Amino acid sequence: MKTKKKTLTIAGSDATGGAGLQADLKTFQEYGTFGMSAITSIVTMDINDNWSHTIETIEPEIVGRQLDTIFAGGKPDALKTGMLGDIRTIAVVRDAIERYQPKNIVIDPVLACKGTAGILLSENADSIRELLFPVADVTTPNLVEAGILSGLGELKTVSEIEKAAIILHGYGAKNVIIKGGRRFDNQHDEALDVFYDGHDFHHLKSPLVHSDNNHGAGCTFAAAITAGLANGQSTLDAVTTAKAFVHAAITNAQPFNQYLGHIWHGAYRDNGRFKF
């Protein structure tokens, strides 16, 4: 059997299994890579309080030990970060990246969860910008995160999104993909993502899926890019495949409760789109 490429997620646990490190590991497996995880936080949701989220952070020192344990087996072929939760954890992650020098680093700058109205982790924004963007090969903010991280606030037009991408690239992220999706005002029948590699913009479109069952889409998108890079795809190819992977997953989503529904991480494979 061919040696599997190794992928790593440094992320929070979503107890429901749709987002967070669970989504990442499922996606890594779908891509035929060997997934590993360092857990940074545990997210729970309260059915009796409008599905409000609580984040329990893991001690940063324990995150560091998990990373040392993982890197003791060699460098993963690609890694991603998700919800980090504590600014001390962001520093621990940067330190590990400096010591181990892994390649193919995808920073998903999680500041909010779908299913929550507000921003959960705004205090993380400065640290992500200062410590993680300079080592990022790819960053994958959604519209809200891109607005906060760029300092531009609410992004309403394609040109504002492109401006935000240029600013985030200026902070050191080599490639920026801003997930506009359907939250984007004048997009009625397409999900639009804007990709910027420091030279060119690419507008990536997929047909809009009219479904509220999209929990886990953001994490899964970043995980799919990570696994694609591990497998040797170019950045643009990895992003394009990841978009198709997530589109299939949303199309085959299933309700979880009255608040959310989970995307199905196995849909792309079900559709026969992976050939290993």
For ligand PXL, the binding residues (CB under 6 A) are: 11-14, 19-20, 43, 82-83, 110, 113-114, 218-219
| Identity of the residue, 79 or 233, whose beta carbon is nearer to ligand PXL in the bound complex | 79
| Identity of the residue, 82 or 261, whose beta carbon is nearer to ligand PXL in the bound complex | 82
The minimum distance between CB 170 and ligand PXL, in angstroms, equals 25
Report the alpha-carbon distance of residue 230 to residue 77 in Å, rounded.
5
Find the residue with minimal CB distance to ligand PXL.
20
| Identity of the residue, 113 or 225, whose beta carbon is nearer to ligand PXL in the bound complex | 113
The minimum distance between CB 227 and ligand PXL, in angstroms, equals 17
The minimum distance between CB 104 and ligand PXL, in angstroms, equals 20
The minimum distance between CB 36 and ligand PXL, in angstroms, equals 16
Distances (CA, A) of 112 to 82, 83, 139, 259: 11, 9, 15, 16
Decide: helix, strand or coil at residue 84: coil
H-run or E-run covering 9: strand 6-14
Strands (E) across 101-258 are located at: 105-107, 138-139, 175-181, 190-196, 201-207, 254-255
Instruction: Report whether 150 contacts 163 (CB < 8 A).
Output: yes
H-run or E-run covering 46: strand 34-46
| Identity of the residue, 14 or 30, whose beta carbon is nearer to ligand PXL in the bound complex | 14
The minimum distance between CB 276 and ligand PXL, in angstroms, equals 28
Tokens for 199, please give them: 């030279």
| Identity of the residue, 5 or 67, whose beta carbon is nearer to ligand PXL in the bound complex | 67
